Structure 1
Amino acid sequence: MLLHRRFPSPTLLALALASAMLPSVHATDAATPADAATTTAASDHVKNLAGIHVVATAPRVAEMPTHVSLKAIEPKSIIDQAYIDNNAMPMDSYSSIAALAPSVVDVEPNGPGLGNNKGFTIRGMSDGQYNLTMDGIPVGDSNDFTHHSSNYFMPQDLGQVVVDRGPGQASTIGYATFGGTVSMQTRDPLAHTTTEVYGGFGSFATRLAGVKFNTGTLSNGGSGYLDYRQLRSDGYLSGATVDRSNLAAKFVQPFGDATTLTMLAMRNTNGGSNAAIVGATSYPYVSDGNYPYTSGMPGQMQVFGQRYGLSNDPHSQAYTGYNYDHFNSDFEYVDLASDLGAVTLDNKLYTYSYYHRGWNGLDPNGGNMDYGQLSGPAGSIGDGTFPAGLGTPNGTAYGDNNIPGQKMYLLYRNWGDLLRLSQSLGPGELGYGVWANKQLYHRYEAEIDFSLGGALNPVLKGSDPVTQATDRRIDGTFWVIQPYLQYAWHITDQLTFTPGLKYVTFKRHDVAPIQQKVRTAFDYSQTWKKVLPSFDLHYAITPEWSAYLQAAEGYLAPNENQYYVSNPSTANQGLQTESTKNYQLGSSWQNGTWSLSGDVYAINFSNQISSRKVGKETFFTNLGGTRYRGAEVEGSVYVGDGFSLYANASYNKATVNKTGLQLKKVPKTTAAGGILYHAGPFSGSLLAKHLGVSYGDTGVDASGNPALIYRLPAVTLVNLSLNYTMQHGGLLPRGSRLGLRVSNLTNQTPLIDETSTANGVPLFYAVAGRSVMGTFSLPF
């Protein structure tokens, strides 16, 4: 508790923003309802009431699931607010919103938005190998640069989600830009005062309720909003409950015509058992991890059903009451943007945090009785329903039948500044800036006895039971500094060449009374540095058609796990820094009816690190060189009478040089397509995403040669959305919206991802079954 109090209260900025929005004198309070519904963008055909879109006539490019930019210098899929409002589940995360984009794979076994995703990849790049930003600010864990999709913004506050499938320019900053960037952009405040009450009810006892207040434009020209919602659900999987609340506030204050100050704060609280779900065994893959990787034994999914997650038996390590998590996260920044004449400036001063406290059975789903659901006493061999010797029996220092478990925390806070400047210089624009981020983190894990109310369980013999029960206690800092310089040289009115340089510095310093695995005191620091060049050519062939060529180097500092050895100064002999060389060529074309883009890419990866989850631990292996080769295409067309068509397809070959095998969990093909309707008060869509065959892991074949194992079949998931917006007042206010969302309409539930118990027995996630949700929004 004392450790948690080291960090400043994340609610202070939210309260300050709320106070700033309290003044009651508005410059536009007298506006008529019709005036209040008009958007500021002249090209928009939409009228906006409290974030609810009232459709006038035909849909535009912005309402497609994704659209492209003619100014793009790399493949980019832009998902705008109109699509989020009209089609997303009200509890969706950024990953489930972005899932439709080319080359994107998203695994959400507990249902869309109901827990952290388990397998979000871009072109086969896994979490930690791509960049995630919120309003341009990079975020990521301290240990492996991964992310937690259910602990950030909710869709009611997202104005845009952008999937950049490339390393970007020198100005693209972040931990791992080479794998692409997923950008969340928050919504801007509305120009007129509104209050919106919204929510939804649906499958798995899911219910969401929220209220959003927009100040409108105040007498001093500022505007802001305050948005709060509560989400609760039993989840698709047994025992996978969700209890989430989210508060977001944003305030924008202009100073004259050249300067704008923006303040934003977000606070997210998430609890339940959703993060402890570790998968379930499934026939024919209940095996001992050796060839032929199959067993005649039925799996947990066959015995307990496809929705098995955790047990309701308190004698089991898989008991839902022993496997639960609590998360607190916050994100705040102050942004000053100004046109200083010769130079434009944009500076964001920010902080964000992630506090995770968790408890789990020693090996959930890894017992040695009743298909892994129960555990016999210490020393027992089990009842034969789990592979012999690979279950985890009960037993602690206090008794053979006592329930062993673990408790942990990962607490980190970031402080940083992102400064960007640009100016005209000769026949182009010069861009330069710097990103600096300091992260302070605290990691802890200890063995406990659930039978004794969570008492410490000293698994090793020694004079100090606290130390002998502690697996790790680490205090550390992680510094990132990335200055950049780039120049956009307009060779002609149509051709622009942009070279750039980015200098990346990563420094990690661990002070550990108990270092993980080594279990000794530890104090060590290391720094990694590299210059990363990039260039791109952009050619505007016509006003409707453009093409680009891009090349860049990428780099990623080693994960925290590199320090879990006796001598970390030699650890990088096995786990070296990851680096890439990225190349891609593409083209985009659009007019008032059509939008079409395509690209080909090649990525050469050195020292690629592959991770494997074994129980609660993640182990890393250096695959050496890997090669990514692929092609992507996406397009949309308005066919008339309110109907539009959308489609995309991708081919993603990702092979390990020394084996020639495709990377595990990476389908070679993905595709999406569907129909959208938007006219008058009605809107809707029927969209499908197809994922090709992939494999859960690598092993050997009958001859001992490397081989892909645990085949995960292809699947096509169909989502349906229907909306009706009242354009005239009556029983409900004008602009009220009623909606229906159906995820996985055809109820496809094949295996989709693989992990394992602490003893290496394969566990699987299946696609979450059909979920139906009714939604409403009432503006006042």
Structure 2
Amino acid sequence: MNAIECKKNTLSVMVLAGIAMLCATHAAQADNTVNLGSVQSTSGSGTAANSTSKKQQSAAYQAPTKAPLKATQPQSIIGQQYIQHNTAPTANYTDIASIAPSVSDIAPNGAGGMESQGLSMRGFQDGQYNVTFDGIPFADSNDFTHHSTSYFMPQDVRSITVDRGPGSASTIGDATFGGTIAVDSREPEAVAALTPYASFGSHNTHLFGLRYDTGAIQSLNGTRAYLNYKNSSTDGALTYAGQKRQNLVVKSETPIGDNTVLTLFAMYNKIHQNVPLGATLAQIQKYGSNYGLNNDPTSQAYYGYNYDELASDLEYMDIKSLLNSWTLDNKLYSYGYRHDGFNGLDPNGNTANGTIYGANNVPGQRMSNNYRSFGDIFRLERSLGPGTFKTGFWLDRQHNTRTQYEIDMTLGGLFNASSMLAATDRDMVDTLDTAQPYVEYDWKPTDRLTITPGVKYAYFHRNIDAAVNQKTGTPLSYSQSWEKALPNFSVHYQLEPNWTVYAQWAKGFLAPNLNIFYTADPSLNSVVPEQTTNTQLGTVWHSQALTLSADVYHIKFDNKIEHHKVASQTIYYNAGGATYKGVEGEATYYLGSGFSVYGNGSINSAKDTTTGNWLPNAPDRTFAAGLIFNEGGYYASLIAKHVGQRFGTGSDPSTDSKLPAYTIANLNTSYTLKNAMGPMHNATVSFQVSNLFNKSGLLDQPGTTADGTPLYWTIPGRSYMLSLSVGL
């Protein structure tokens, strides 16, 4: 066992052992009024103790998305109310976030049926923005993209905040460049409960789960913990694109004295999935819009040759404490991702069969991508003069091994070459070290005005040791560091207790991807981090009947990394950039008698500054509208999301890369019986219809076949989901 695995196992064992001890010592009785101390949980504050009926009669409670009054940049909070009632039990965080203004997602296999094929936020693509879980940034270090099915599920998500901007100086992450999607976990309940749940739906989709809450354990100072296990499977909306998934989450919160809370968290996830790459227009016309893979063992598109085996985990220990006049928050974490993937050489193309073992044998590839990150997030703040002083740092190291081999699928994976080395496309080890200290000050010259200057210093260091480097096929040992100071300035003014305005100017940045090392001599490259300059203005209004927010933004993207060839050498350099600009808004109005109406919208522009062309997968507008009813145990919503025109791999309107606008409507209904029979309580049944009007069409152009024929994703057809849960 290497040092990295030893460290990972040590943290995992410490987290699990701590939570197991808490559950094992759980007293038979629970205290519903336990005080978790003066310090809130690191994952966020719990639900207020107001009556449910009073909360239901407000726009803030029923709003699918809303901006907080304290916002200093455009921001949409998607709460547990929306997640519980409007998202499929199998959904990815990308499916949930897609309701927000300026956000669109590509999910051709149904909610959670495969990894998101591209979430766009104002035109920024995956890898250009952060995703965090309980404040922890996680991503593949090579290009900062995310695996949306490999970590958390909706049953463990309390809220998702979509920050459409680089945030303040204290916002950490490798890709603050385009914003942050911040996912927060649910908290343990104060009352002991056992909650089984199940879902059944279209495409032979099943999900079975069980959550156990210890309640407040009096013998452990009011500690609360829960364990939540899910097992799901689906055949998928696309042909032969099935998925099987298992997910386990354990979390505990322990008060230590009156001013400290210890949080332990662990998540484990395992997936087997068959993975299509899209379909050509000819395949869609011949086999239907739901074509993915086939069942022909002589084909490179055979589902038995195109699959992934995935295992992932995330653990953290967090201490949050009041020390005299200081608030301390320190989070030690680790997360890992293990991916073994297989695919036919050209599943949708015209590449003929044939390997060194036979002219009719099916050629394919076997890859692995295994990484482990360790990190620490340390934050301090205190009142100082007429404001609050904040400082801290983020440290992270990710170690990644990546391989790919050419193989013979017909013969079960034999190397398709005279030797292992000859069959090797890549064999690489790389590391990324990140350090981000920051300082900022919330200056309050008056009770209504807050001015926040701040600066973050970003440092990152890449190293690669490749026996066979990607693209070149030759050995490489190389490292390089970059650093950048990122200033931030925001102004927040409270016009009225329920009405605020804000302005922000901030710098964002994006570390160069590992692909700049995929060249024979990376020292010939001349690149600096890509960066943005964000200017944003907005306003937020809250009342019992109305939540309303609106903003305008202008983002200048500089230092775009390009490449060209000099002889046989690929050289990377900075040239040009892009301009993003637009207007956004969202509102919910409570009509009365349990009814509210909801809407959001954006008009967006994302264009290359050199060519003037639209950037790929950047919609020119998004809109959402819906009607919601929530009274007593009844809930119903009909919400439609419209995504405007965008382009695939190119932006020339005369080509087939132009993709049409589309609108999808979803119907969600549920009923909760608070006091069921005997020991049962909170019994809930829900029924969901996705794509109610069975719309069809092209979603995205993800790439091409080996001979350059475009591939497409299509809109999945109408589907249904029935879900049941009961508290015991």
TM range (shorter): over 0.9
Alignment of 1:656-695 (within 5 A): 656-695=608-647
SS of match in other structure, 2:523: helix
Instruction: Kindly indicate whether the alpha-carbon contact (under 8 Å) linking 2:613 and 2:652 is maintained by their aligned counterparts in 1.
Output: no
Is 1:568 the equivalent of 2:522?
yes
Is 1:518 the equivalent of 2:524?
no
Instruction: Kindly indicate whether the alpha-carbon contact (under 8 Å) linking 2:652 and 2:658 is maintained by their aligned counterparts in 1.
Output: no
SS of match in other structure, 1:453: coil
Is 1:359 the equivalent of 2:358?
no
Between stretches 660-669 and 145-154, larger displacement belongs to 660-669
Output the amino acid matched with 2:342: W
1:447 & 1:3 partners in 2: Cα distance? Answer: 30
Instruction: Kindly indicate whether the alpha-carbon contact (under 8 Å) linking 1:699 and 1:709 is maintained by their aligned counterparts in 2.
Output: no
Alignment of 1:229-308 (within 5 A): 229-273=230-274, 276-282=275-281, 299-308=282-291
Is 1:190 the equivalent of 2:189?
yes
Instruction: Kindly indicate whether the alpha-carbon contact (under 8 Å) linking 2:120 and 2:617 is maintained by their aligned counterparts in 1.
Output: no
Q: Per-residue displacement from partner, 1:561-611 (whole Å, max 9, x unpaired)?
A: 1111011112345xx521111110000011111010000000000133599
Could you say which residue in structure 2 is the equivalent of 1:399?
Answer: 358
1:346 & 1:469 partners in 2: Cα distance? Answer: 49
Could you say which residue in structure 2 is the equivalent of 1:537?
Answer: 491
Instruction: Kindly indicate whether the alpha-carbon contact (under 8 Å) linking 2:4 and 2:372 is maintained by their aligned counterparts in 1.
Output: no
Instruction: Kindly indicate whether the alpha-carbon contact (under 8 Å) linking 1:171 and 1:432 is maintained by their aligned counterparts in 2.
Output: yes
Could you say which residue in structure 2 is the equivalent of 1:770?
Answer: 718
Match of 1:334 among 317, 341, 349: 317
Alignment of 1:163-174 (within 5 A): 163-174=162-173
2:192 & 2:206 partners in 1: Cα distance? Answer: 27
Could you say which residue in structure 2 is the equivalent of 1:528?
Answer: 482
Instruction: Kindly indicate whether the alpha-carbon contact (under 8 Å) linking 1:63 and 1:80 is maintained by their aligned counterparts in 2.
Output: no
Is 1:312 the equivalent of 2:260?
no
- Cα RMSD of the aligned pairs, angstroms, is 2.2
Instruction: Kindly indicate whether the alpha-carbon contact (under 8 Å) linking 1:488 and 1:497 is maintained by their aligned counterparts in 2.
Output: yes
Could you say which residue in structure 1 is the equivalent of 2:139?
Answer: 140
Percent pairwise identity: 44
Instruction: Kindly indicate whether the alpha-carbon contact (under 8 Å) linking 1:18 and 1:226 is maintained by their aligned counterparts in 2.
Output: no
Q: 1:41 to 1:232 in 2, by over 3 A?
A: closer
Shift of 1:438: 0.5
Between stretches 481-490 and 554-563, larger displacement belongs to 554-563
Could you say which residue in structure 1 is the equivalent of 2:52?
Answer: 46
Instruction: Kindly indicate whether the alpha-carbon contact (under 8 Å) linking 1:57 and 1:678 is maintained by their aligned counterparts in 2.
Output: yes
Q: 1:514 to 1:117 in 2, by over 3 A?
A: same
1:42 & 1:439 partners in 2: Cα distance? Answer: 38
Q: Per-residue displacement from partner, 1:307-327 (whole Å, max 9, x unpaired)?
A: 110111000111100000011
Output the amino acid matched with 1:200: S
Could you say which residue in structure 2 is the equivalent of 1:500?
Answer: 454
Instruction: Kindly indicate whether the alpha-carbon contact (under 8 Å) linking 2:585 and 2:600 is maintained by their aligned counterparts in 1.
Output: yes
Could you say which residue in structure 2 is the equivalent of 1:779?
Answer: 727
Instruction: Kindly indicate whether the alpha-carbon contact (under 8 Å) linking 2:451 and 2:489 is maintained by their aligned counterparts in 1.
Output: yes
Q: 1:610 to 1:232 in 2, by over 3 A?
A: farther
Shift of 1:726: 1.3
| TM-score using structure 2 length | 0.93
Q: 1:731 to 1:758 in 2, by over 3 A?
A: farther
Shift of 1:119: 1.3
1:637 & 1:29 partners in 2: Cα distance? Answer: 38
Instruction: Kindly indicate whether the alpha-carbon contact (under 8 Å) linking 1:170 and 1:501 is maintained by their aligned counterparts in 2.
Output: yes
1:469 & 1:621 partners in 2: Cα distance? Answer: 31
Instruction: Kindly indicate whether the alpha-carbon contact (under 8 Å) linking 1:476 and 1:508 is maintained by their aligned counterparts in 2.
Output: yes
Shift of 1:395: 1.4
2:655 & 2:508 partners in 1: Cα distance? Answer: 28
2:546 & 2:178 partners in 1: Cα distance? Answer: 29
Query: Any unmatched runs of 5+ in structure 1?
Result: 32-38, 48-54, 283-298, 367-390, 459-463, 612-618, 702-706
SS of match in other structure, 1:313: coil
Shift of 1:734: 2.7
Shift of 1:398: 2.0
Instruction: Kindly indicate whether the alpha-carbon contact (under 8 Å) linking 1:697 and 1:709 is maintained by their aligned counterparts in 2.
Output: no
Is 1:603 the equivalent of 2:555?
yes
Q: Per-residue displacement from partner, 1:272-331 (whole Å, max 9, x unpaired)?
A: 21xx2100011xxxxxxxxxxxxxxxx101101111101110001111000000111100
Between stretches 653-662 and 479-488, larger displacement belongs to 653-662
Output the amino acid matched with 2:327: T
Shift of 1:436: 0.1
Q: Per-residue displacement from partner, 1:334-390 (whole Å, max 9, x unpaired)?
A: 000000012110000000011111000011111xxxxxxxxxxxxxxxxxxxxxxxx
2:387 & 2:65 partners in 1: Cα distance? Answer: 30
Could you say which residue in structure 2 is the equivalent of 1:345?
Answer: 328
Query: Any unmatched runs of 5+ in structure 2?
Result: 34-44, 564-570
Could you say which residue in structure 2 is the equivalent of 1:294?
Answer: none
Instruction: Kindly indicate whether the alpha-carbon contact (under 8 Å) linking 1:14 and 1:266 is maintained by their aligned counterparts in 2.
Output: no
Could you say which residue in structure 1 is the equivalent of 2:685?
Answer: 738
Shift of 1:230: 0.2
SS of match in other structure, 2:285: helix
Q: Per-residue displacement from partner, 1:462-513 (whole Å, max 9, x unpaired)?
A: xx71111001111111100000000111021111110001000110111111
Q: Per-residue displacement from partner, 1:444-472 (whole Å, max 9, x unpaired)?
A: 001001122100112xxxxx711110011
Q: 1:40 to 1:324 in 2, by over 3 A?
A: closer
Q: 1:504 to 1:4 in 2, by over 3 A?
A: closer
Shift of 1:731: 8.1
Instruction: Kindly indicate whether the alpha-carbon contact (under 8 Å) linking 2:540 and 2:550 is maintained by their aligned counterparts in 1.
Output: yes
Could you say which residue in structure 1 is the equivalent of 2:306?
Answer: 323
Output the amino acid matched with 2:133: M
1:422 & 1:57 partners in 2: Cα distance? Answer: 35
Q: Per-residue displacement from partner, 1:659-716 (whole Å, max 9, x unpaired)?
A: 1111122111100010110012211110000001112122668xxxxx6642211111
Q: Per-residue displacement from partner, 1:732-776 (whole Å, max 9, x unpaired)?
A: 923100000111111112101002113321000001111100000
SS of match in other structure, 1:307: coil
Q: 1:708 to 1:179 in 2, by over 3 A?
A: farther
Shift of 1:56: 8.0
Q: 1:709 to 1:552 in 2, by over 3 A?
A: farther
1:203 & 1:11 partners in 2: Cα distance? Answer: 36
Is 1:550 the equivalent of 2:510?
no
SS of match in other structure, 2:111: coil
SS of match in other structure, 1:637: strand
Alignment of 1:384-423 (within 5 A): 391-423=350-382
| TM-score using structure 1 length | 0.87
1:321 & 1:621 partners in 2: Cα distance? Answer: 41
Q: 1:592 to 1:700 in 2, by over 3 A?
A: closer
Q: 1:399 to 1:556 in 2, by over 3 A?
A: same
